[in-house]
Amino acid sequence: MFSVVSPPLPRYDNDYDGQRTSKNKGRDADSMDLDFGDANITSPGQTITSSQAFMRGHGTYVDGEVVLASVAGTVERVNKLISVRALKSRYNGEIGDLVVGRITEVAAKRWKVDVNARNEGILMLSSVNLPGGVQRRKLESDELQMRNFFEEGDLLVAEVQALYGDGALSLHTRSLKYGKLRNGQFVTVSPMLIRRLKSHFIALPCGVDLILGLNGYIWISKHVQEFDQEGEEGFDAQAVYSNKNDDIDSNSRLAISRVSNIIRVLAAHSMPFTDSILVEAYDWTLEQQGDVRDMIGEDYAESLVAAMSAQ
């Protein structure tokens, strides 16, 4: 029941002794060739290349004749454009991103949403599907009853529609797959670990649905059948904005807990997520003895990560 331990030794993820490649050592500092066989990591203030031949992009600055990196990250080159993508930064929204957010405030004709970015997200009343059909017009009474749709604390999945001038994200839930989230639990990871995938709605074979928000917010829920939506007739207001969960059996709950522990372990060890890694990790944990709660132990985490890295 209680396990009191002494603190673990700090773990250094980048503690590789022999891995410093000779590529960097052999490279001539004045060379104009940019060799991108391996990921080139820079630190702030490090010279990248000459500014005569290349244009500078994000994460760089020009000092005299050379382009230098201003953040610690990997150098990327597109034709003549050099940019540095930071290893660790806040989520920066881009148009078309899928995000999971939590309502923080209900304002006039809009909701303010926390999306783990530098600015909050704004969800306009005109950007949500109103009950009664996707084509229903907004009425005065809708503005006065906004809490019937979303209230403070609700989780939702939305897409970034546009960016305001100050960087705030404008969201919309105008598709039938977006909207309020239920039947599951919520996990937070660093946004750097979520890669841009073709679809962020993942259905794992164990009966668990995952929504990987690009802002690092993840929703794990019970699998819903891809019910044949008859277009707009299938859009039921009571269902979409209801707070009531469906009945969930204990096997699903256990599967959801297992997946959330896997995600936490992978996040703690900075492994990026894709659906294939999650499926493999899930199968691996099923093969191990032990309960779901053993997964939060340090040794278990190390062996899981080692097994995943090997594949």
Q: Does 209 bind another protein (CB under 8 A)?
A: no
Q: Does 61 bind another protein (CB under 8 A)?
A: no
Bridge partners of residue 56, in order along the sequence: 82
Helix (H, G, I), strand (E, B) or coil at 174: coil
The least CB distance from residue 19 to another protein, in Å, is 24
Contact positions with another protein (CB under 8 A) in 178-197: 180-186, 188
Contact positions with another protein (CB under 8 A) in 96-135: 102, 104, 114
Alpha-carbon distance of 148 to 208, in angstroms, equals 28
Alpha-carbon distance of 247 to 190, in angstroms, equals 31
Q: Does 165 bind another protein (CB under 8 A)?
A: no
Q: Does 154 bind another protein (CB under 8 A)?
A: yes
Alpha-carbon distance of 109 to 228, in angstroms, equals 32
The least CB distance from residue 117 to another protein, in Å, is 13
Q: Name the amino acid, one letter, at 262.
A: I
Q: Does 257 bind another protein (CB under 8 A)?
A: yes
Cα radius of gyration rounded to whole Å, the chain: 23
**How far, in Å, are 74, 167, 171 from residue 94 at the CA level?**
20, 10, 11
**List of E strands, 129-200:** 155-163, 169-173, 179-180, 184-188
Listed ranges 61-69, 121-129, 241-249, 274-282: which one lies at the site for another protein (CB under 8 A): 241-249
Q: Does 268 bind another protein (CB under 8 A)?
A: yes
From 191, 187, 205, select the one nearest 262 (Cα to Cα): 187
Listed ranges 125-133, 203-211, 229-237, 296-304: which one lies at the site for another protein (CB under 8 A): 296-304
In the complex with another protein, the residue whose CB is nearer, 39 or 296, is 296
In the complex with another protein, the residue whose CB is nearer, 7 or 18, is 7
Listed ranges 27-35, 40-48, 130-138, 251-259: which one lies at the site for another protein (CB under 8 A): 251-259
Provide the angle, in degrees to the nearest 10, between the axes of the packed helices 275-287 and 250-268: 110
State the residues that interact with another protein by CB under 8 A: 1-8, 102, 104, 114, 152-155, 180-186, 188, 243-245, 248, 250, 253-254, 257-258, 260-261, 264, 268, 291-293, 295-298, 301
